[in-house]
Amino acid sequence: MSRFRSLLQASVNATKKVSDLSSPLFKLLAFTWNIEEWVPPPEKYIFKFHSKEDLKKWHLYSDSEYGGLSSASLEIPDGGKGSDGTGIFSGNLSVDLSEGSKLNISRSGFCGMRSKKFDGFIDLDGYDAIAMRLRGDGRCYISTIYTENWVNSPGQTEDNSWQAFVFAPKDRWQIEIMSSLECFASSLRPLVTGVLIIYQIPLARYLPTWRGNVIDVEMEMNPGRVLGMSLSVNAEGGAVGAKSGAGDFRVEIDWIKALRMP
């Protein structure tokens, strides 16, 4: 028998074996196909900032709600875009309080943008990292993921929060890949590749926080029950070498994605 006919016969025999639904080979292939259906795609858009409709999914907050004088905006300029069709989160950080304010806050000088409430959850189960494409101003921003409340006291309505620092070098697009936050320490280890800076921090190590303070306890985020996200900035700075203090801030943001790492 020729080599070609031998190969053809082997192929026919294999097909017969697979077509037998009770064969071990068919069961193995079926199991493999099912496994592939469970694996999420390598990346998943969570938020985009390409239109004014995209920006309606977010609301702003600042210390002005408590007697502070900081201000913020989130917009795509008329005519219609940021420098590359992106949203612009900008404003001014002030450490002063409005005259006659009766509210007592421990610190002022902060602004943020948070995604609005919606029905259901953002399911990030199966992903390892959060990626953001942005262009900054040299300040250090804080990325927060909010999950269903199971850490705080029963009966409280506050979401659980998990935070990471995002250092945004001035006037340079970059991709931040983050996941847990040793970012609160000065242990940022950026990998510089041309104009891109990539931070790789395991999602499983995102630091849990409560009212801005790290909770000193080991616990894991439930990525399948994400309620929202936020990006904020404060005058106190963050990472070593980042711009800090009162004054203007500005960051352009293109998208936020979830990534599966190889």
Which residue range forms the structural domain that includes residue 2? 1-39
Question: What pLDDT shows up at residue 159?
Answer: 84
Could you tell me if 201 and 242 lie in one domain?
yes
Question: Does residue 196 register a pLDDT over 60?
Answer: no
- For the purposes of burial, counting CB atoms within 10 Å of the CB of 67, is it exposed (0-12), middle (13-18) or buried (19 or more)? middle
Question: What pLDDT shows up at residue 39?
Answer: 75
Over residues 139-185, the pLDDT tens digits come to 999 999 999 876 555 556 678 899 988 887 777 776 665 533 333 33
Question: Does residue 55 register a pLDDT over 60?
Answer: yes
Handedness of CA 117, 42, 126, 175 (dihedral sign): negative
Could you tell me if 184 and 59 lie in one domain?
yes
Could you tell me if 34 and 102 lie in one domain?
no
Could you tell me if 22 and 46 lie in one domain?
no
Question: What pLDDT shows up at residue 61?
Answer: 95
Could you tell me if 35 and 134 lie in one domain?
no
Name which residue leads in pLDDT, 77 or 175. 77
Could you tell me if 30 and 144 lie in one domain?
no
Structure-token pair, residue 101: 């304010």
Show the CA angle centred on residue 102, arms to residues 99 and 106, nearest 5°: 95
How many structural domains is the chain composed of? 2
Could you tell me if 166 and 148 lie in one domain?
yes
Could you tell me if 211 and 97 lie in one domain?
yes
- Looking at every residue in the chain, the average pLDDT score rounds to 75
Question: Does residue 204 register a pLDDT over 60?
Answer: yes
